[in-house]
Chains A and B, each alone.
Chain A
Amino acid sequence: MLKPILLVEDNPRDLELTLLALERSQLANEVIVVRDGADALDYLLRRNAYAERDDGNPAVMLLDLKLPKVDGLEVLKVVRDTAELRSIPIVMLTSSREGPDLRRAYELGVNAYVVKPVEFKEFVTAISDLGMFWAVLNEPPPGSLRLNRRGSN
């Protein structure tokens, strides 16, 4: 069983587009969607609504930077500060490369940082690559045939 991808995104349109992109990348992983930072932490720490979920960490967390309640950087910080969560690969998704966020995210130990491209095709490519790298390459399932996908695109 592949570990799931945890997608934290509050904007419904970005959510839809990201899910479409993930769908097109034909990753086999289950995608678990939460809509804000508080839910993300609940999921990760198996609290409240997620107290009963199966244990195990996601293969990768795609984390939007700007989130209601608890923002992406705070989630990142909690993950890195919590021993059992520390190893989860985290990819920051954001609208811009601007500002101090980038620096702060790297300080907090983010694994990658992706500025969402405007063009949908590029967006699909970026999401696929990310998913591929962190969900598949990092822990390659046996017999995966999708490693060459990038070259075929």
Chain B
Amino acid sequence: MTTDPTSLDQAIERCAQEPIQVPGSIQPQGFLLVLDETDLRVLQASENAERWLGVPARALAGQAFAELVGEGFDLRQQLANLPDDEIFPFHIGDARLHQGAPWPAALRVLAHRHDQVLILEFEPHRDSPGNAGKDDYYPLVRAFVSTLHQATRIDELLQQSVRQIKRITGFGRVKAYRFDSEGTGTVLAEDADPGYPSYLGLCFPASDIPRQARELYRINRIRVIEDANYRPSPLVPAANPRTGKALDMSFAALRSVSPVHLQYMRNMGTLASMSLSIVVNDRLWGLVSCHHEQPRPVDFKTRTACELLANVLSLQIEAIESHDSTRQLLDLRQRIVRMLAAMADHDSVSDGLLALPEVMLQFAGATGAAIISAERCDLIGATPPVAQVNALAHWLAQRGGDAVFHTDNVRRDVDELPELARHAAGVLAVAISQIHSHYLLWFRPEQAHTVNWAGRPEKTVAPQGNLNPRHSFERWQEEVRGFSAPWDPLIIEGVQELRGAVLGIVLRKAEEMAQLAGELRRSNKELEAFSYSVSHDLRAPLRHIAGYSELLGEIEGAKLSERGKRFLGHIEDAAQFAGTLVDNLLNFSQMGRSALRLTDVDLNTLIDAIRTELAPDYAGRAVTWEIAELPKVIADPAFINMVLHNLIANAIKYTRGRDPARIEIAAVRHRHEIEFLVRDNGVGFDMAYVDKLFGVFQRLHRMEEFEGTGIGLASVRRIIERHDGRVWAEGRIDQGASFHFTLPLHPTSA
């Protein structure tokens, strides 16, 4: 015997290959005849038929069925009771055997059609020990069904069921277990007589029930073994003459079972067993497993009642589960809707989700989450460090494949990032862009837990390579490490749904942007037309006002009173100012439209020229200039000149009255850009209005204090933004101001 894992796997696989639906023999508590339904003659018979009929099985082939039973039983007539779509053995009636047969009593006749033949199983009426007289199960079943409604939790439901089934069958121990997605069964309910070992809470490994047995449990929902020490009775002849192969007994009540299973039963110390399948949504959900230390017959009526109970139980579980999953789905949907609403309300997917951190976590039942977009990695809750999260995103991008990735064991499934497993055990990831590596990630912590196995879950392999079922079913504990709670398929579906919606939102935002760009183009065109007409139509009358008022002053000035001269002066000033306003406005609108001509610009030279140009404005004032050596930049020289001109002119203007005025111009080099600043010790401004500073026609001072059209800084901003730079200002009232702008080190566009 060996426990070498490879030979164990091979042995388990061999076990799963055993053709248990065609065992070629039956359990001997009844006998079986295979008939040709057209002529009702015998094709095959179980060897033990001789014990009942007094005729050797091999002599039965070809015999007319009518000669084997008493005259009171007309099979053709009884078969009329057998529904055409019935696949399970159906009790078509009771029959006495022919005169002179060794078995005088009536036998139940169960019939079913399968494998192209009619299969008849005969079994005696028997009372289960300790269950005498309970011939009518209807009141029991009715009571059971009515109590099932009160159970709202699955474990309560199972507990009631095992108690009831134990009452009906009289088995010494009845337990119900549930299979997880791996096939491991956990005992959730148990009712046992004193002296029976308890398995409540223990786990049975998936390999205890091989694949093909599981499938058989799914389609045939009851299996009885009355005595694990039975001697199987073979069919004679061995092959079904219709198919030339061994008879398929998938649905036969008497089907013989695998010797490995019988050994398993003997090892467990139970000689009789009955298994009822719990099938939910067409999947084998669990089993109700009844055991008895001694061999124990189970009458047809009892079996029928139990099957009914198991069916009702299955339906009830299905109802509870679907209720639960509906509720869960509803919660999930509500959270999706809230997240989507937030995303639609915010400028970006990230901002939307960050606004609802709790919902984001609850949605996936996670303790941490991350939102990864092109330029950002935002973390929520307990997550691995940013570097690890980014590495994971990179790993996901390399991996390609499905949009959704999930694991409940990072160490096992993401072995390229061993660090990650120190921070999280479960990861759920979904790509939310078809082009970029944008992801939503959720994290779950490790959930170390103990599994109580019913015996060490390794089976051993006999020298012939067959399985040797374990002998001990003593509790054996296993520590499970590295796993998080598994991701519910509903959550994974929800994540898919979220992904679809996010893609939709991103698409819609792109469309909105395109529409906005279109509108912008249109309104730019309108603005162009507008400024054209403004320049034309507004400038002419302004020119006339200015011209005539000046001429009036020249020609008639001597005749005017001082007041009249003053008024005339105001008219001239106003016309001139309006003219400047119109000109500046036109310049400003031009700035947005003319193409940038990027070239190397020497700012120090520009500044020198501007100072010379502005010299008349500060003539007679003490101005201390602190102009640093400025780096060369790549920009449109005419526009940058306008920026510096505006800022320097402002500095000169707003330091009026300072003695000395101090104007500093400097540059700070950053990683991707250069920042320039023009700082003065002038009147400054209230930071409360800093947002207005760069707006068109926004002025923070009264006209009498400081003249201006309110377009200068707006132009500065427009020019710098067209250069892909930023502008900002800092200042305090009477404490001076500083104006900053940046230019990228490597301009991308002209």
Contacts and interface: CB of A to CB of B under 8 A. Distances in A.
A94 B536 CA distance: 8
A121 interface: yes
Interface in A12-64: 13-14, 17, 20
Contact of A17 (B537, B544, B575): B544
A116 B532 contact: no
Interface in A96-130: 96-99, 116-121, 123
B531 interface: yes
B526 to A, nearest CB: 14
A62 to B, nearest CB: 15
A97 B531 CA distance: 11
A96 B536 contact: yes
Q: How large is the interface on A (under 10, 10 to 19, 20 to 34, 35 or more residues)?
A: 10 to 19
Given A96-B586, A120-B550, A14 B535 contact: no
A138 interface: no
A123 B547 contact: yes
A78 B331 CA distance: 80
Residue of B536, B543, B586 with most chain A CB atoms under a 10 A cut-off:
B543
Contact of B546 (A11, A95, A118): A118
Interface string A53-79: 000000000000010000000000000
B452 to A, nearest CB: 88
Contacts of A13: 540, 544, 547-548
Contacts of B579: 117-119
B584 interface: no
Given A66-B536, A98-B536, A117 B543 contact: yes
B614 interface: no
Contact of B576 (A20, A94, A98, A119): A119
B539 A96 contact: yes
A121 B551 CA distance: 10
B691 to A, nearest CB: 31
Given A14-B543, A20-B551, A95 B575 contact: no
Nearest to B576: A119
B550 A118 contact: no
A124 B550 CA distance: 12
A121 B586 CA distance: 22
A98 B531 CA distance: 8
A116 B579 CA distance: 11
Interface centre among B531, B536, B583, by most chain A C-beta atoms within 10 angstroms, is: B536
A44 B575 CA distance: 37
B532 A118 contact: no
A96 B550 CA distance: 22
Nearest to A116: B543
Q: Give the secondary structure class of A's interface.
A: loop
Contact of A118 (B531, B536, B539, B548): B539
A117 B576 CA distance: 10
B532 A96 contact: yes
Nearest to A96: B535
Nearest to B531: A98
A126 B319 CA distance: 95
Nearest to A18: B547
Contacts of A20: 547, 551
B634 interface: no
B536 A95 contact: yes
Contacts of A95: 535-537, 539-540, 543
Contacts of A117: 543, 579
A15 to B, nearest CB: 11
A123 B551 CA distance: 12
Contacts of B101: none
B340 interface: no
A99 B532 contact: yes
A16 B403 CA distance: 78
B727 to A, nearest CB: 26
A124 B537 CA distance: 21
A17 B532 contact: no
Contacts of B536: 66, 94-96, 98
Contact of A97 (B535, B542, B546, B547): B535
Contacts of B575: 118
Interface string B540-583: 10111011101100000000000000000000000110111001
Contacts of A66: 536
B532 A98 contact: yes
A121 B580 CA distance: 15
Contacts of B548: 13, 17
B563 to A, nearest CB: 22
B535 A118 contact: no
B539 A121 contact: no
A120 B536 CA distance: 17
A131 to B, nearest CB: 17
Contacts of B550: 119-121
Given A96-B586, A118-B542, A17 B547 contact: yes
23 contacts: A11-B540, A17-B547, A66-B536, A94-B536, A95-B537, A96-B532, A96-B536, A96-B539, A98-B536, A98-B586, A116-B540, A116-B543, A117-B579, A118-B539, A118-B575, A119-B546, A119-B576, A120-B543, A120-B546, A120-B551, A121-B550, A123-B543, A123-B547
Given A94-B536, A96-B536, A118-B583, 7 more contacts: A14-B540, A66-B536, A97-B535, A98-B536, A120-B546, A120-B550, A121-B550
Interface of B: 531-532, 535-537, 539-540, 542-544, 546-548, 550-551, 575-576, 578-580, 583, 586
The list of the 7 closest CB pairs from A to B, nearest first, reads A118-B579, A96-B535, A120-B547, A120-B550, A95-B539, A17-B547, A13-B544
